[in-house]
Amino acid sequence: MPLPRLGTRSVRLRTAPAVFVVLAVALAGTLLASTLGGPRHGRTTGAPSDHVVIDVSQSRCGHGWTRPEPGVRTFDLHNSSDGAAEVYLEDPGSQAVYGEVEGIGPGTTRQLTVRLGKGAYAFKCVPDDADAVTGPTVHITGGERGPGAAPVTEHDLIPPALAYQKWVGGGLDDVVRLTAKLKDAIDAGDLATARSAWLPAHLQYERLGAAYDAFGDVDAAINGTDAGLPGGVRDKDFAGFHRIEYGLWHGASAAGLRAPATALVKAVTGLRDSWSQTRMDPAQLGLRAHEILENTVQFELTGRSDYGSGSNLATARANLDGTREVLSRLRPLLTTRYTDLPGLEADVDRAGHTLDGFRHGARWTPLDRLSRAQREQTDAVLGDLVERLASVATLCDPRRTV
């Protein structure tokens, strides 16, 4: 089924900031393209002499580039049309993209900075409501060009999306099985066993992070928080794993947790049973690879999602597992587009090693028990990885070619 443009990860993420305003990020450790806010109207004033003003319109796309030279160059992309557009700087033969700017409003100017080298280049203007137009080809005879990437289409993303969706189906089977164990312990009045059973069930669900948008409203019933609820943790709509977590670690009785446990099992079972009829949006897969850990840094590493179990670092590790699963499905596309893919994979391993250092058998160190140095190291390792994953989201963002 179709998904919203930017998804959410449980109720607590519905206020999370958009991942991208302009898709222009560091690719393979080198600047692919940088975009700066240009003036609201007209052309850039006081621009350095090496800036080149490029027309963005259907009739004059790419016009204005009369002196092609190698090196780092900044283009002032001026939209002279009456509608919004996005612009790619590409090799017209291979269609490899060397820079892009999205959402250039009518009458406005945005900047694009790229490193140019030997080869052919052309600007492609892609209006919101019209066909794409490719401007004149420009040839540069010397220098080393920056990295480029072949565009990814939605068709390219269908096989990895289907493979990932099948994996999620198996994961939901495990969620149902583990959640049933949690419910059985609560029904038996054995809260010590229930506390032990809660974490494996919750972590298995957390590993499915890239699918949360496709889960729809049922995600709130499974993994929602009390954020935005008038009654907070006592609100009647506070449900799911975190509702049970709060009760288990705040002295609730087994009798008081039976109804939430029954509702949780019902929700995950219903989700599993309907999953085969659900269709994930392939275009969202690359974005999710970035979003899972971005949300981890925002919510797990700050303790905002802790309701008493002290298991945020375990959740962060499960989120990392989920990210790795997405990357494994995207790897065939990334191998030929992301030159520092081995470096990214090494960073994923490094993050896993860092988080595993806080595991002691079935127990994990709570966030408030970390030393300042441990907190800083964890934040830095996960934060750096989030920045790298932004490149994956950009590379796997389907581009219009016509």
> pLDDT tens digits for 285-308?
999 999 999 999 999 999 999 999
Residue range 151-167, pLDDT digits in tens? 888 899 999 999 999 99
* Nearest-angstrom CA–CA distance, 237 and 402: 47
Mean pLDDT score of the chain: 86
Query: What pLDDT, on a 0 to 100 scale, did the predictor assign at position 35?
Result: 29
Minimum mean pLDDT among 14-18, 201-205, 274-278: which range? 14-18
Q: In 3-state terms, what secondary structure has residue 56?
A: strand
- Its pTM stands at 0.78
* Nearest-angstrom CA–CA distance, 242 and 233: 9
Q: In 3-state terms, what secondary structure has residue 19?
A: coil
CA 140 distance to own-chain centroid:
36
CA 382 distance to own-chain centroid:
14
> Does position 16 have pLDDT exceeding 70, yes or no?
no
Dihedral sign, Cα of residue 252, residue 254, residue 255, residue 256 = positive
Q: 33-140 sits in which CATH class? A: mainly beta
* Nearest-angstrom CA–CA distance, 255 and 194: 13
> Does position 327 have pLDDT exceeding 70, yes or no?
yes
> Does position 37 have pLDDT exceeding 80, yes or no?
no
Query: What are the backbone angles phi and psi of residue 183, rounded to the nearest 5°?
Result: -65, -40
Query: What are the backbone angles phi and psi of residue 349, rounded to the nearest 5°?
Result: -65, -40
The neighbour count for residue 14, using CB atoms within 10 Å, is 13
Q: Which fold has domain 154-395?
A: A middle domain of Talin 1 (1.20.1420)
> Does position 22 have pLDDT exceeding 50, yes or no?
no
Query: What pLDDT, on a 0 to 100 scale, did the predictor assign at position 399?
Result: 76
Q: Of the candidates 242, 247, 246, 252, which has an alpha carbon nearest to the alpha carbon of residue 222?
A: 242
* Nearest-angstrom CA–CA distance, 99 and 151: 11
Query: What pLDDT, on a 0 to 100 scale, did the predictor assign at position 28?
Result: 31
| Beta-carbon contacts of residue 66 (< 8 Å; ≥ 6 apart) | none
Query: What pLDDT, on a 0 to 100 scale, did the predictor assign at position 49?
Result: 45
Q: What ranges in 75-228 are assigned the alpha helix state H? A: 154-187, 191-206, 212-215, 218-223
Label residue 237 exposed, middle or buried (CB < 10 Å: 0-12, 13-18, 19+): middle
33-140 matches 154-395 in fold: no
| Beta-carbon contacts of residue 213 (< 8 Å; ≥ 6 apart) | 3, 4, 7, 8, 281, 284, 288
> Does position 3 have pLDDT exceeding 70, yes or no?
no
Query: What pLDDT, on a 0 to 100 scale, did the predictor assign at position 23?
Result: 32
* Nearest-angstrom CA–CA distance, 399 and 97: 10
Q: Which two tokens stand for residue 292?
A: 């899972």
Residue range 234-290, pLDDT digits in tens? 999 999 999 999 999 999 999 999 999 999 999 999 999 999 999 999 999 999 999
Evaluate whether 304 touches 226 at the Cβ level (below 8 Å): no
Query: What pLDDT, on a 0 to 100 scale, did the predictor assign at position 151?
Result: 85
Query: What pLDDT, on a 0 to 100 scale, did the predictor assign at position 339?
Result: 86
Query: What pLDDT, on a 0 to 100 scale, did the predictor assign at position 94?
Result: 86
Contacts 24+ apart (CB under 8 A), 243-250: 244/182, 244/186, 244/194, 244/198, 245/198, 245/202, 245/307, 245/308, 245/309, 246/307, 246/308, 248/191, 248/194, 248/195, 248/198, 248/308, 248/309, 249/195, 249/307, 249/308, 249/309, 250/308
Q: Of the candidates 206, 160, 154, which has an alpha carbon nearest to the alpha carbon of residue 179?
A: 206
> Does position 140 have pLDDT exceeding 70, yes or no?
yes
Rg (CA), the chain: 24
What's the per-residue H, E or C state across 135-149? CCCEEECCCCCCCCE
Query: What pLDDT, on a 0 to 100 scale, did the predictor assign at position 363?
Result: 93
* Nearest-angstrom CA–CA distance, 321 and 50: 46
Q: How does residue 401 score in pLDDT terms, banded at 50, 70 and 90?
A: low
Minimum mean pLDDT among 96-100, 191-195, 381-385: which range? 96-100
Q: How does residue 20 score in pLDDT terms, banded at 50, 70 and 90?
A: very low
Q: How does residue 402 score in pLDDT terms, banded at 50, 70 and 90?
A: low
Q: How does residue 388 score in pLDDT terms, banded at 50, 70 and 90?
A: very high
* Nearest-angstrom CA–CA distance, 297 and 43: 39
Query: What are the C-alpha distances in Å from 211 to residues 9, 10, 299, 343, 389?
Result: 9, 11, 18, 26, 17
Q: How does residue 337 score in pLDDT terms, banded at 50, 70 and 90?
A: confident
Evaluate whether 402 touches 33 at the Cβ level (below 8 Å): no
Q: How does residue 95 score in pLDDT terms, banded at 50, 70 and 90?
A: confident
Minimum mean pLDDT among 5-9, 67-71, 330-334: which range? 5-9
Query: What are the backbone angles phi and psi of residue 157, rounded to the nearest 5°?
Result: -85, -10
Domain definitions of the chain by residue range: 33-140, 154-395
- For a pLDDT cut of 70, what percent of the chain falls above it? 87
* Nearest-angstrom CA–CA distance, 341 and 339: 6
